[in-house]
A = this chain, B = another copy of it.
Amino acid sequence: MAFPRPKPTTMETLAMERANPPFNIRQLSIAMHGGEKALILKEKFMAEIARHPAFKLSDIHDLSKDELRERTMEKFASMVYFVTNESIETFQLRMQLIGIADPSFWTRFGVAYGLFLGALRSGATPNQLSYWIERGVLGLNGVIGCFAMTELAHGSNVAGLETTATFDRGSDEFIIHTPHLGATKWWIGGAASTATHAAVFAQLIIDGKRHGVKTFVTQLRDTKTFTLMPGVTIGDIGKKMGRDGIDNGYIQFTYVRVPRAHMLMKHTQVSRDGVVTEPPLAQLTYGALLGGRTSMVTDSSNSAKKALTVAVRYAAVRRQFATGKNELETQLLDYPIHQRRLMPLVAQAIAMGFTGLRLQVMYEDMTQALEAMEPSDPNLNDILDKLKETHATSAGLKAFCTWACLDTIDKCRQSCGGHGYSAYSNFPLMYADFAVQCTWEGDNTILSLQAGRSLVGAWGAAIKGKKLAPGVAYLNDASTRTAKSDSSLSLDDIQKAWNCVAFNVIKKAAEEYVKLLKSGKSKDEAMERCSQSRFIAAKIHTIGYIFRLFTEAVQEMPDNEESKVLKTVASLYGLWQIEEQQGYFLKYGYYNAEQIDKVQESVDALCAEVRGVAIPLIDSFALSDHIINSPLGKWDGSVYESYFAQVQAANPLPKEHPYFTRLIKPLLERQNEDMEDPGTAMGLEDELKEIEEERKGE
């Protein structure tokens, strides 16, 4: 008797899930990508890298660190053409896609173009910038840059960096020096084996006086021979949790001389005779951070969508347990608890995606407004306020979106059971690669506190009657604080809920802060002491902010089947997060206990509703099988066949057993011998017996 194979096949099951979707997948996809152009470009990029041998992804789980790094440089070579020929907008979309497909390469690429070139763009004078571009910074033909900020003993505290750049008036040079081990430049991407130059952050010292941390372009290696420059010591910092395709290294400088002109002087200038001129307006560097954070919100959404594409497709085809005798086993996706595991995360990924799109527009608008503005402009303060608010909110967004994505990846892994633990599911690498996003560009907890600090400030301004920037305008209306639910659980009601609770948690943090000040604490200490409440304020404000940007985007869409499903998704996101944070909604009385039960019921129902369209919804994320790189998430549902084929291809049987003769055979053929327990020989047994006796005596 042969066992009947389950019917339908996994492929047929997925095809059935795709039959007659209640919306147009392509239209929904266009909305999620912020327009048709972005989607078409993404499809072009996906096709390009799927066909380029350097971007082969199916074998990366079995490559060594050294092989991955070498491949990184192959990718570099394949990309240089585009960098020098594409519009910035197109190039940014390309990088976004690379960020999802290959975070390790994205990092090395970002070091050269985001960090090193970015440092030149924001810190160099126009003459300096021309000079470096002529030397080949754009095409890497002459200069391959890296970014040497972090030190072994200093990360977040940039002002505390200890590398020194001492002006030598005699030779018109700076002397770059690493005074002790802790000041070793550390984590420097590209330093270990691929960079020729570094943008070095160091304490400017002139005549024994410190002038703060500035940037000095310092040559690391000879561009012809690649040997290290005199005084430059470089080491490889080796294996990391993920992103092993980037060669992070450490650098120690021993009295290395660079020409004065290699200090970037757009802001602070040092003259030939060592006179320092400081810039008039320091705070306009917000912009650069904002751009990075915006892209991390988008990347969080994209990476979460990648993991969810795998987990949701797998849940649709995986069957486990039959409810009756001889029946077909149930699809995991039909279990209410499995819907609970994945559907809210789908909603969250979509919410973060729309948030990223809107942030990008806000960021571009603000940049344009600032560039067009004269210092005498009467709107300057408004725009600066908005910039500050967006900057602070972006700190919270970076933190909570990267956390949400990391959490999503691991939940997706767990939802695939044992197979999620296989390297070939791609979850392990996704997690390992993404994990650093919670740390770099500012540790998430610290960034959350920065956002919280700004909210405390905003609350203070609001009670003084100041009209706040749009992102925190709800603090201007005191009635927000005592609002109650109209029990409709409509999108408007959900928004009111978040505003009410955000108002209250911000107020709590601010009042704690004021109380601490009144008790005699310094401002700094008072801020530290109320940090838990600041953290909560940032969390609630940020979730409410994501919900607002998402629903605004959806409400601006025409009233059609695509916006309809997105409204359902928005409700799920908002209500699920209320459930997650229900304590605050109860505490501040926006909902009562029965209403909270209703929230739970609604989330159950919305999960079931979104499950109904889960596969078409996931398809609208528009991620190719090559990008997903997981047989469990194959578009056509051929999960087991693809998985088995990949495992076989990646693990050919060795011709000879590598250690049978040396290790296994002697074990198998061993004769049992009587040996004395070494514990007895050491007298340990006696000691233990004594303890035993004592214990009994107690």
Contact = CB atoms under 8 A, between A and B. Distances in A.
A653 B444 contact: no
Contact of A335 (B65, B141, B528): B528
A527 to B, nearest CB: 10
Interface stretch (A377-385, A424-432, A481-489, A612-620): A424-432
Interface string A139-154: 1111010000010111
Interface string A467-506: 0000000000000000000000000000000000000000
Given A85-B677, A532-B603, 18 more contacts: A1-B208, A5-B180, A84-B672, A136-B668, A139-B672, A160-B322, A181-B640, A235-B648, A235-B651, A237-B651, A323-B522, A336-B532, A337-B531, A428-B432, A532-B600, A533-B600, A583-B585, A586-B587
Contact of A596 (B322, B335, B587): B587
Contacts of A37: 688, 691-692, 695
Interface residues of A, number: 159
A323 B417 contact: no
A261 interface: no
Given A76-B667, A596-B587, A668-B223, A414 B647 contact: no
19 contacts: A1-B166, A36-B695, A37-B691, A85-B675, A139-B672, A141-B671, A141-B672, A181-B640, A193-B658, A235-B647, A235-B651, A238-B424, A239-B424, A337-B528, A341-B445, A417-B443, A582-B583, A583-B596, A587-B593
Contact of A421 (B435, B449, B664): B435
B337 A663 contact: no
A598 interface: no
A155 B420 CA distance: 12
A256 B322 CA distance: 29
Contacts of A280: none
A187 interface: yes
Interface stretch (A66-74, A122-130, A353-361, A567-575): A66-74
A194 interface: yes
Contacts of A181: 640-641, 644
B194 A664 contact: yes
Contacts of A242: 421, 428
Nearest to A187: B418
A35 B6 CA distance: 54
